[in-house]
Structure 1
């Protein structure tokens, strides 16, 4: 009888530990900018905006996003973070990436630096969050144009 009671308590305890009712929603990427261009590398920064529809906060655990410029994969954003996400609100996650200029193409880069040509930038991957200790992956897929300066 003691074991049966222990099993019932354990099952009810596990049932009360649940993950988020809804996963955070990816909305868009803003403030996309090339912050620095050197002879060999360019530094790209942006803010990914999400919405947490849950009445309970979460914790961001990591970012795993591939970076594409002009349709070519040029890098990966892999960041391990521990950021608190507020309940029922929008939240921003900074994305920082470095890519080799040669990966984009010398001609596109030279034209971009001289004439301010726009380049297509795409972010594709996911972020990892936890709620009540349970992990959730939120997909990211966003494309925009930026100007090299």
Structure 2
């Protein structure tokens, strides 16, 4: 009888603690230049996600590379703990320090473009009850960018 209860408990535990699904990356909104400098510029945006899981999850880490018109723009890293509700859309405010020398070398036309292709590639660390998994993601879409 104890073996049956133990087996039943373990089976229920394994199904209840299924691996979290990756977030659906819905959109990048409010892309803007916060400060513009000759050497460094701060680019800010709100990354919009949807949690498809039927349970809330904890977002522990985001590590991604950002590309604009297929030119490397910079790296975004978040190392804080956020609770994400179940089946909910949420926004992650993001700031990227951009090396303007690299931008100017890879495409002066970025400064004068009205629309750009934004690619965000990386991983997130999500989990529940202290158990975390690394989930890759890739987002790509065209966005309007107003610098002036």
TM-score, with structure 1 as normaliser: 0.77
Return the alpha-carbon distance in structure 1 between the equivalents of residues 123 and 37 of structure 2. 29
- Structure 2, unaligned stretches of length 5 or more? none
Give 1:127's match in structure 2, choosing from 118, 124, 127: 124
Give 2:138's match in structure 1, choosing from 137, 140, 146: 140
Of 37-46 and 18-27, the range deviating more from structure 2: 18-27
| 1:6 shift after superposition | 9.4
The number of equivalent residue pairs is: 144
Return the alpha-carbon distance in structure 1 between the equivalents of residues 94 and 138 of structure 2. 12
- Secondary structure of the residue aligned to 1:102 is helix
| 1:145 shift after superposition | 3.9
Of 138-147 and 84-93, the range deviating more from structure 2: 138-147
CA RMSD of aligned residues (A): 2.9
| Residues 100 and 21 of structure 1, relative CA distance in 2, 3 Å threshold | closer
TM-score, with structure 2 as normaliser: 0.77
Write the deviation string for residues 107-147 of structure 1: whole angstroms up to 9, x where unpaired. Answer: 727x83xxx54363432223221134242415131233423
| Residues 59 and 44 of structure 1, relative CA distance in 2, 3 Å threshold | same
Return the alpha-carbon distance in structure 2 between the equivalents of residues 24 and 69 of structure 1. 22
Kindly indicate whether residue 107 of structure 2 is the aligned counterpart of residue 118 of structure 1: no
| Residues 147 and 54 of structure 1, relative CA distance in 2, 3 Å threshold | same
Of 64-73 and 6-15, the range deviating more from structure 2: 6-15
Kindly indicate whether residue 47 of structure 2 is the aligned counterpart of residue 51 of structure 1: no
Return the alpha-carbon distance in structure 2 between the equivalents of residues 65 and 102 of structure 1. 20
Return the alpha-carbon distance in structure 2 between the equivalents of residues 22 and 63 of structure 1. 15
Alignment of 1:1-149 (within 5 A): 8=7, 11-12=10-11, 14-20=13-19, 22-105=21-104, 108=108, 112=111, 117-118=113-114, 120=116, 121-132=118-129, 133-143=131-141, 144-149=143-148
- Structure 1, unaligned stretches of length 5 or more? none
